[in-house]
Amino acid sequence: MKFIGVLLIFLIFWSNSFAAPVEHKLDSTQCTTCELVVEVAHDLLGDDTLEDCIADFVSFVCTALHIEDHFVCKGMVGDFKETFLYVLDQIIVEPKEICGILLKGCDGGFDPYNATWFLPMPGVKPSHKTPSPIPAGKPILRVLHLSDLHVDNDYIIGSEAKCGEPLCCRPPKDTNEAFVSKDVSVPAGKWGTVGDCDAPYWLLEDMMKNIAANHKDIDYILISGDLESHADWDYSKEGHMAKVQNITDVMKKFLPGKPAYFAIGNHEGVPIDNFGPHFTPAKFHMDWLYGKMVDEWQDWVPADQKTQVIYNGCYMKQLFPGLRLISLNNAMGDSNNFYLFINQTDPDGTMTWFLEQLEDAERNGDKVHVVAHIPGGGGEALEGWAINYYNAVNR
């Protein structure tokens, strides 16, 4: 049996070596190949429970099918490993279901992107009133909206800006690389570089100085997520907590007395995009991040919203009579939040909470300013999340 297995692997590698690198949208013949590879893997790895060998199993299938770019395959190494092992263990009962996850349109498994859910829209839709123009002389609110600051604390002026890694203008990913002595083709500029680089910290400070000097009439600040750099291989809980504190301090330093309302971005997760809802074991929960946020934002988040922030990273604030702000944590509908593969229906009741908030505002005749990171219906949003969001917004 082992011999036949080895022979089959040889044949699979051999037949694949003539093909271009396989994308994860494969056709039905490739589904058959995947199921064959799974059978071989089963033979080779023996009759251990799937739980014991799932990492080997998935790695084997990824290698045999030359699937390099699929996030599950990438995720089996490095930061995501623990998350993936947990998620795969929850969702895979039959080994061949792995094909259903890795290959679009392969059945025998489930498609995490096709698990739509619908919440009933609350309340009775009021009749439409055409908004009338605001009479002249009414007070105007001015809002400073900052997003995706992506501050890279390791930015180095003069370092390579075209480094061939996902993020440049900083020390290389592999610290053994002698990057200093290497000839620099595009040196990183002082204020940032058009290239594969994030923003240096001093750019943020300089921008804030300029805003403070020229825009004294700001009423409030919105910061819609992604404080961290794109160097997601370097992410740590400590680093992310320090960044929350640092950006908060920057706001207080340059715009003292101006309230800042943050929303959570997908880069606030460690690993990136992964925010464990409460159906996961406690070690995946987000108390470390949300707790730090509550501490840092206590001047701005109402005391009665603290438990909400710590629970799912959302809050509501009555800004003025007639206007509320809702900070919605769209990581609960993030298509790369792998915990949601287990159950993406209304994680931690977040969409239900949002609908209740909107209904309450409507009942009280208030308008709502929503701050969130991932666009409701963008490619990074899961279908179910997007549908419910749009049903609410379009009701």
Ligand X SMILES: *[C@@H]1O[C@H](CO)[C@@H](O)[C@H](O)[C@H]1NC(C)=O
Contact, 267 vs 150, CB < 8 A? yes
Stretch of residues binding ligand X (CB under 6 A), selected from 121-129, 245-253, 260-268, 326-334: 245-253
> In sequence order, which ranges of the chain are alpha helices (DSSP H)?
2-16, 28-45, 50-64, 71-75, 81-91, 97-102, 201-214, 237-254, 287-296, 306-312, 350-363, 383-393
Site string for ligand X, 23-62 (x = CB under 6 A): ----------------------------------------
Which position has the token pair 């498994």? 109
- Restricting to residues 73-132, name those near ligand X by CB under 6 A: 111, 114
Stretch of residues binding ligand X (CB under 6 A), selected from 92-100, 127-135, 246-254, 362-370: 246-254
Q: Chain centroid to CA 380: how far? A: 8
Which position has the token pair 């895979």? 92
Tokens (6 digits) for 50? 């799937």
Stretch of residues binding ligand X (CB under 6 A), selected from 214-222, 326-334, 341-349, 365-373: 341-349
Which of 63, 90, 147, 345 forms a contact with ligand X (CB under 6 A)? 345
Which residues is 160 bridged to in the sheet?
A: 187
Which of 147, 153, 305, 336 forms a contact with ligand X (CB under 6 A)? 153
Query: 144: which residues sit within 8 A by CB, 6+ positions away?
Result: 211, 215, 218, 220, 221, 222, 255, 258
Contact, 342 vs 85, CB < 8 A? no
Which position has the token pair 């690198």? 21
Stretch of residues binding ligand X (CB under 6 A), selected from 82-90, 158-166, 338-346, 373-381: 338-346
Asked whether position 352 contacts ligand X by CB under 6 A, the answer is no
Q: Which residue, 259 or 384, is less far from ligand X as judged by CB?
A: 384
Which of 22, 241, 250, 370 forms a contact with ligand X (CB under 6 A)? 250
- Name the minimum Å distance from CB 390 to ligand X: 18
Q: Which residue, 226 or 361, is less far from ligand X as judged by CB?
A: 226
Asked whether position 147 contacts ligand X by CB under 6 A, the answer is no
By DSSP bridging, strand 323-327 and strand 315-320 are: antiparallel
Q: Name the maximum alpha-carbon separation found in the chain.
A: 85
Binding site residues, ligand X, CB under 6 A? 111, 114, 153, 201, 246, 249-250, 253, 343, 345-346
